[in-house]
Chains A and B, each alone.
Chain A
Amino acid sequence: MTYTDYATGEPVVDTKAPKGPINERWDKRRFEAKLVNPANRRKHTVIVVGTGLAGGSAGATLAEQGYHVVQFCYQDSPRRAHSIAAQGGINAAKNYRNDGDSIHRLFYDTVKGGDFRARESNVHRLAQISVEIIDQCVAQGVPFAREYGGLLDTRSFGGVQVSRTFYARGQTGQQLLLGAYQALSRQIAAGNIEMHPRTEMLDLIVVDGRARGIVARDLVTGRIDTYFADAVVLASGGYGNVFYLSTNAMNSNATAIWRAHRRGAYFANPCFTQIHPTCIPRTGEHQSKLTLMSESLRNDGRIWVPKAKGDDRPPNEIPEDERDYYLERIYPSFGNLVPRDIASRAAKNVCDEGRGVGPGGQGVYLDFADAIERMGRGAVEAKYGNLFDMYQRITDEDPYRVPMRIYPAVHYTMGGLWVDYDLQTTIPGLFAIGEANFSDHGANRLGASALMQGLADGYFVLPATINDYLARNPHEEPVDAGHPVVREVLAETEDRLNLLLSVDGDRTPDSFHREVGELMWEFCGMARTDSGLRKALERIPQIREEFWRRVKVPGTGEEFNQSLEKANRVVDYLELAELMCLDALHRGESCGGHFREESQTPDGEAERKDEEFAYAAAWEFNGTGEAPTLHKEDLVFEYVHPTQRSYA
């Protein structure tokens, strides 16, 4: 049986989302949830993996509630989680502008933006909570941008028609994360959180069908240890680094969620990847990561390529009538402001035609000449100065004089561990929050919604729902290091690392990562085809086999060893990549960030097939290289009725 011969198992059903009017469901769920007596909370230990917006806020809040929290991050400080790099802003349905925004509109926009592949109940709850997040962050001292009257400023973002995005210059993620980090720090100082920085989760401990702990490695000493708890929360972020080049941090990885998947948690919609249109193009083979330029640049910049193929004149020498402002041409009403997926794909198309610019022809111009003429250089500088500086630093080109070059890059993964309304995975006691879960963004995430979801999950949703699990599931017997299951998981982890160290081949871990990343970018990137995905599915097991034969990891496991860390992460990418391709192959429709060339309208737009694919695909692991089992969660749209998106 080959990997693509997957079986379809029992559908997954979200048993936690209450019935009834959508705006009452969250209240109802909170009321129905059992509570843990405050005096007993201290006796419950909760493990939280990751300290980004979701993990940081969850750890702080659970500790405030009185739980004993044991928290982990691979960085040297919880303050460095990659949420810190988010630039644009955070959405909230405050309607401070009186411009017609409401919870329902944010809910509607998110479901529609996600191309009708998200769960309505979750998205509505997200929109409801969005307003509380802003209150919470302001109380913590997050220095949001303000107007002269002292009230909060907002801007419109990502082509949305209302101004609901709160921001702190181009560093909103940083400021929100520091707010959560500070709340976390307060709890660490109070002794309510046991913080383990530079410690990476390597496996999940499941005893009697319930998540009871993790195996983690101290990255400084190399010591592998087991940690036990009554519940485990994964807030380890997305898996965009499967592509090698992405806007993720270098060490962001999929190990925590992949290991949980291997232990029984279903992985939902793995192929839903967001490719952000405005990133700085790569400059050569040495490129280690890609840098995002805020989407807001498209508000004033005009995107174009030369009309002629292989036109290598400098941009300023190409006359106006020989330029193709292709977004304005194809989408006259939205122009340069079309959603991310559409802008990305259009850039890929013109580059595939041979009209791309810059090294390797992998880029398009984002031109501010008209904006500078219209608004004046000063106004452009005030609005985008820091982005222009960043661009100039990286490319050594002055965007005030020469058009920027941009190209799409992997940015966010909408897929992740399948969770129910309580954010619980299919393993009881294992929760997944933030980008690590799949729940709220469907097939495409709107700008400024990632921060909103991370904080909603961490500050408000999980701390309410985890009570119910802990209250209903008293653990009869404690688990300790002597438990046979624990010993087995620990031994497996040690064996895996020892095997990596013993291969002693002739290729670096990075070279394999790059190879699988390039394969994924080509066949499971912006446009996917049946034949391409099959090619990738054929190649991935070969790379995996070669990896275990030829990888070279220097040093030992009993020391600070960054090559070993990297190699272990690549092991998981090499398995996850396969599942992503299979998911992309099985979903024979185009939706959001998932574009199947076979499924497009006559004018080249993504065509959804709701009769066949209006479900979330949750995959069950059956073994490395073994066909997984597909479980479908049917998506029911009671409030927002699916329509084909049109931006022409």
Chain B
Amino acid sequence: MKLTLRVWRQKNADADGAMSTYEVDGISPDMSFLEMLDTLNEELILHGEDPVAFDHDCREGICGACSLVINGDAHGPERTTTCQLHMRSFEDGDTIDIEPWRASAFPVIKDLVVDRSAFDRIIQAGGYITAPTGAAPEAHATPVPKPDADFAFEHAECIGCGACVAACPNGAAMLFTSAKINHLNVLPQGAPERETRVLDMVAQMDEEGFGGCTLTGECATACPKGIPLMSITGMNKEWLRATRKVSKR
């Protein structure tokens, strides 16, 4: 396959960026999208040019490092992560636009690499259960109904890639934040911190400069792990409940 790539190049956080055009040839349909970029980079290095910087690690769709907006879609045309996207999803001769995640809370570090530490700070604000090592009761002391356990798991699947923010026209992190709140708040282990968790995480989300939700559903469509839009509804419910409860205290 022969392709034309238009790639966002930006030297560093302070520099201005622009789209640059590259031709790549000899691309196999069996290559993953990132292997296609590897091919480009090998050529760029040999020509003495700066290779395209992009985040990637496990290349199995689970670490959440890869983060490209491909032809306007976070992670490209298939519902998966960029590393699991294969070139057979494109046609010979295609022009492909590759851009970084765009959100003011995710500033560009270089080229296609962005800073997603805002997500870490949202988790630090309350996305945990306080259970110091050694203090745990016997695992079977508290049974968890299977539907609750499955619900928790479904939301715990979030890989923190940030596609939801990239896809959202408001740069909102609602889907990410709600996934963790739903995961922990449905479990009996998470109950003691149920109110503070949602209030603190939502406050941190706002603090980081993410936008608000207008329920366009773009986040859930882009999510490679299929976190449902309804997750945000669940967070809203938890937040209202917590607001009422805390105001009574």
Q: List residues of chain A with CB under 8 Å of any chain B CB.
A: 57, 60-61, 64, 75-80, 82, 84-85, 94, 96, 132, 134-141, 143-152, 168-169, 171, 174-175, 178, 181-183, 185-186, 188-189, 197, 220, 247, 249-252, 283-284, 286-289, 291-292, 390, 393-396, 459-460, 463, 506, 508, 510-511, 552-555, 559-560, 562-563
Residue contact B120 to A78, C-beta cutoff 8 Å = yes
Give the chain A neighbours of B133 by CB distance below 8 A: 57, 60-61, 64, 136, 183, 459-460, 463
Q: How far is the CB of B189 from chain A (nearest CB, A)?
A: 5
Residue contact A286 to B28, C-beta cutoff 8 Å = yes
Given contacts A140-B128, A144-B149, A145-B149, contact A80 B137 (CB under 8 A): no
Closest to A94 in B: B139
Known contacts A138-B189, A146-B146; can you find 18 more A-B pairs with CB under 8 A?
A82-B58, A137-B139, A140-B136, A143-B152, A143-B156, A148-B146, A220-B109, A250-B59, A252-B57, A286-B38, A288-B32, A393-B84, A394-B86, A552-B45, A552-B48, A554-B45, A554-B49, A560-B113
Q: How far is the CA of A60 from the CA of B129 in the complex (A)?
A: 13
Residue contact B28 to A147, C-beta cutoff 8 Å = no
The B94-148 residues at the A interface (CB cut-off 8 A) are 109-110, 113, 115-117, 119-120, 123-125, 127-140, 142-146
Residue contact A139 to B129, C-beta cutoff 8 Å = yes
Report 15 cross-chain contacts, Cβ distance below 8 Å, ordered by A residue.
Answer: A64-B133, A76-B116, A80-B57, A84-B58, A141-B152, A143-B153, A150-B144, A185-B120, A220-B109, A251-B57, A283-B30, A393-B84, A396-B88, A508-B46, A554-B50
Closest to A220 in B: B109
Select which of B53, B113, B139, B187 is within 8 A of A143 by beta carbon.
B187
Q: How far is the CA of A192 from the CA of B191 in the complex (A)?
A: 25
Q: How far is the CB of B128 from chain A (nearest CB, A)?
A: 4
Q: How far is the CA of A192 from the CA of B69 in the complex (A)?
A: 36
Residue contact B156 to A178, C-beta cutoff 8 Å = yes
Give the chain A neighbours of B60 by CB distance below 8 A: 85, 247, 289, 291-292
Give the chain A neighbours of B139 by CB distance below 8 A: 94, 134-135, 137-138, 152
Interface pairs A-B: 10 shortest CB-CB: A150-B143, A182-B128, A139-B136, A139-B131, A189-B124, A143-B153, A283-B30, A135-B136, A143-B152, A146-B149
Majority-rule SS of B interface residues? loop
Q: Does B190 contact A (CB under 8 A)?
A: yes
Given contacts A136-B131, A138-B139, A251-B57, contact A84 B117 (CB under 8 A): no
Q: How far is the CA of A249 from the CA of B63 in the complex (A)?
A: 9
Give the chain A neighbours of B156 by CB distance below 8 A: 143, 168, 175, 178
Closest to B120 in A: A77
Residue contact A250 to B49, C-beta cutoff 8 Å = no
Residue contact A287 to B63, C-beta cutoff 8 Å = no
Give the chain B neighbours of A64 by CB distance below 8 A: 132-133
Q: Does B25 contact A (CB under 8 A)?
A: no
Select which of A80, A94, A150, A562 is within 8 A of B63 by beta carbon.
A80
Q: How far is the CB of B54 from chain A (nearest CB, A)?
A: 8
Q: How far is the CA of A134 from the CA of B63 in the complex (A)?
A: 23
Residue contact A289 to B59, C-beta cutoff 8 Å = yes
Q: List residues of chain B with CB under 8 Å of any chain A CB.
A: 11-12, 28-32, 34-35, 38-39, 42, 44-46, 48-51, 53, 55-65, 78, 80, 84, 86, 88, 109-110, 113, 115-117, 119-120, 123-125, 127-140, 142-146, 149-150, 152-153, 156-157, 159-160, 183-184, 187, 189-190
Residue contact A559 to B153, C-beta cutoff 8 Å = no
Give the chain A neighbours of B57 by CB distance below 8 A: 75, 80, 82, 249-252
Given contacts A135-B136, A288-B32, contact A76 B115 (CB under 8 A): yes
Residue contact A84 to B62, C-beta cutoff 8 Å = yes
Q: How far is the CA of A84 from the CA of B60 in the complex (A)?
A: 10
Q: How far is the CA of A394 from the CA of B190 in the complex (A)?
A: 37
Residue contact B128 to A560, C-beta cutoff 8 Å = no
Select which of B45, B50, B84, B123 is within 8 A of A181 by beta carbon.
B123
Given contacts A148-B146, A150-B144, A181-B123, contact A136 B55 (CB under 8 A): no
Closest to A92 in B: B139
Residue contact A186 to B48, C-beta cutoff 8 Å = no
